[in-house]
RNA sequence: GCCCUCAUCGUCUAGUCUGGCCUAGGACACGGGCCUUUCAAGCCCGCGACAGGGGUUCGAAUCCCCUUGAGGGCACCA
């Protein structure tokens, strides 16, 4: 890269939650800035008053912070190139829109939305390509004066060159050439006084001294229009790269905001949904960094520092991609297993309060919780999966089908005998901890001629009431002698009834 | 309809720019096995792709052309 200081921006529109595709765009820009020791700018493109959602900004900032994509300039942090909200930069846009009109690069258009709709309807009827027919571009001074006299409001449109071609150099796709005749006179300034994206992004990128634009592929068609606006201003256009789109899981269509559009498969579209689904920040970061970019030919798991060091636009893939959700689960499991117990415990608490009916305080103070977390750490892929596994420790009693207490290839009576022997041993056990429990129960297996699985499955049902549970000895130890024995004795009663019935 | 982009295992990808090291590598998922108190984790094995057709070349996943397929755009939205 050149010696100039890199300045990139992520410029979302505050219309809702942060979309995962937007997050990936932000992530690439952030990686690029950090790699080059440059500046990552957050700019809010709030020029569409119709789609404006009041809470969207806070959702946006929250999700970016959750992903730990810190911005050097922008909302709440300021900077020397502000304001960073386009709605606060209207004077600038007006000034330069007027400049374009004065220099014959733009013109006032008096067409009403109704007239434009009619025009489009007719184009469709005649099978013509849709697009503004430039009727106001050729207004005579008299006609213009007449429109003004009517008191009609106007917008400002750009005068596209009518002939020739415009070539844009895309950092990941190379040259892309367009016929200027296929470009229509786009709107720069709307009748409500707000600029369109086309005008605002050019002016802001210029005055914010943006050096590289990385935005989604859907903007390719706009690139020549933007290039032409830069040219009209006589400004140098930043280098530009269009990132591959993120597709629906089916691989058809860009990932939309509508959910569960692909059968039964789970489709997470907003960053918030990933957070709520129990994914970790670093795992989502790692996951997104691998969509459209890759660390090397064999490394799947890497830290953000490693990604920063390695990131290079040259290695961005140009093809659109569907999100590999199953890989997200696998990756998250890896990150979970890498966490220290206290850290994991803390991360888990918000996901446990509701299902376990405990307050955050109760859980934070419960010294059994870290022990349980240690037992399940390598068994969960999402934070949301923990509750079901450790629920047995947070209920007064466990419920299950008594027939489950009959071990494979044993009769009810034989199972009962095994259970009674285990109870006898546990009652006599001086140290009620995992190691001692394992030793005493394994010796029972050895002495009784039972299979380990036969005895342990009986105990697992009695202790946890679950077919799938954390490791048995640890589970018994966490419950403590009193509770564990109470559950075993209840199982004894249940088995006794089964024996009596047969 | 017009313009533009893209095209390697089911999916994410490496390789493509700078042809030969590619009988195409890795990962997830899937199938099988080992380990094992359930479930996981871990380890081993397997399945599985250069969209098709023409060129260029001693040699093409890689360069060129065509076809096909997929996607994006064509708003007083971004």
Per-residue pLDDT tens over the stretch A245-271? 999 877 777 887 655 544 446 789 999
Strand B contact with A185 (CB < 7 A): no
Cα-flanking dihedrals φ and ψ of residue A497, to 5°? -65, -40
Q: How many helices (H) and strands (E) does chain A have?
A: 20, 11
Strand B contact with A121 (CB < 7 A): no
* H helix runs in A190-263, sequence order: 197-207, 223-233
Judged on CB neighbours under 10 Å (0-12, 13-18, 19+), A93 is buried
pLDDT tens profile A386-431? 999 999 999 999 999 999 999 988 888 999 999 999 999 999 888 8
d(CA A361, CA A349): 9
Q: How far is the CA of A373 from the C1' of B77 (A)?
A: 47
d(CA A322, CA A19): 14
Residue numbers in A 227-286, CB below 7 Å of strand B: 244-245, 247, 251-254
Q: Count other C-beta atoms under 10 Å from residue A375's C-beta.
A: 22
Contact A46, A86 (CB under 8 A): yes
Residue numbers in A 314-373, CB below 7 Å of strand B: 314-315, 317-324, 326-327, 329-330, 333-334, 337
pLDDT tens profile A184-230? 999 999 999 999 999 999 999 999 999 999 999 999 999 999 999 99
Cis preceding-peptide flag for A83 (omega within 30 of 0): yes
Average pLDDT estimate for A357-380: 96
d(CA A200, CA A45): 8
pLDDT tens profile A142-163? 999 998 898 888 999 999 999 9
Q: How far is the CA of A314 from the C1' of B8 (A)?
A: 19
Cα angle value A177/A179/A181 (rounded, 5°)? 160
Contact A422, A416 (CB under 8 A): no
End-to-end CA distance of chain A: 82
Catalytic residues of A: 257
Strand B contact with A158 (CB < 7 A): no
């Amino acid at each position: 890269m050149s010696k100039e200081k890199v300045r990139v921006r992520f410029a979302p529109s505050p219309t809702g939650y942060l979309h995962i595709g937007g997050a990936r765009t932000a992530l690439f820009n952030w990686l690029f800035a950090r790699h080059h020791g440059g500046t990552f700018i957050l700019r809010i493109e709030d020029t569409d008053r119709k789609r404006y959602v009041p809470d969207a900004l806070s959702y946006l900032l929250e999700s970016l912070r959750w992903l730990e994509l810190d911005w050097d300039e922008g909302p709440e942090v300021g900077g020397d190139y502000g304001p960073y909200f386009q709605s606060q930069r209207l004077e600038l846009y007006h000034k330069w829109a007027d400049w374009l009109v004065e220099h014959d690069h733009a013109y006032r258009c008096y067409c009403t939305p109704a007239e434009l709709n009619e025009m489009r309807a007719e184009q469709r009827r005649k099978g013509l390509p849709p697009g503004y027919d430039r009727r106001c571009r050729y207004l005579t001074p008299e006609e213009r004066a007449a429109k003004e006299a009517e008191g009609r409001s106007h917008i400002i449109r750009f005068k596209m060159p009518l002939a020739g071609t415009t070539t844009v150099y895309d950092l990941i796709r190379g040259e892309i050439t367009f016929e200027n005749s296929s470009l229509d006179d786009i709107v720069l300034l709307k009748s409500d006084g707000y600029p369109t994206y086309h005008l605002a992004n050019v002016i802001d990128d210029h005055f914010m001294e943006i050096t590289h634009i990385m935005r989604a592929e859907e903007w390719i068609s706009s690139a020549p229009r933007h290039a032409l606006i830069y040219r009209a201003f006589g400004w140098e256009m930043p280098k530009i790269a269009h990132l591959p789109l993120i597709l629906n899981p089916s691989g058809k269509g860009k990932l939309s905001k509508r959910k569960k559009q692909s059968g039964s498969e789970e489709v997470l579209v907003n960053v918030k949904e990933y957070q709520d689904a129990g994914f970790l920040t670093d795992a989502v970061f790692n996951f997104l960094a691998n969509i459209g970019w890759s660390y090397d030919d064999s490394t799947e798991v890497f830290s953000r520092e490693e990604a920063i060091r390695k990131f290079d636009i040259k290695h961005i893939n140009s093809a659109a991609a569907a999100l590999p959700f199953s890989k997200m689960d696998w990756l998250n499991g890896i990150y979970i297993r890498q966490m220290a117990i206290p850290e994991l415990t803390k991360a888990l608490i918000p996901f446990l309060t509701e299902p376990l009916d405990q307050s955050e305080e109760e859980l934070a103070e419960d010294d059994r919780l870290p022990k349980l977390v240690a037992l399940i750490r390598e068994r969960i892929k999402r934070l949301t999966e923990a509750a079901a596994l450790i629920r047995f420790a947070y209920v007064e009693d466990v419920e299950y089908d008594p027939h489950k207490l009959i071990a494979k290839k044993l009769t009810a009576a034989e199972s009962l005998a095994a259970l009674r022997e285990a109870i006898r041993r546990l009652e006599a056990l001086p140290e009620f901890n995992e190691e001692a429990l394992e030793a005493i129960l394994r010796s029972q297996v050895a002495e009784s001629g039972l299979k380990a699985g036969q005895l342990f499955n009986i105990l697992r049902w009695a202790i946890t009431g679950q077919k799938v549970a954390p490791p048995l000895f640890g589970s018994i130890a966490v419950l403590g002698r009193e509770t564990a024995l109470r559950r075993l004795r209840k199982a004894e009663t249940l088995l006794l009834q089964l024996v009596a019935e047969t």
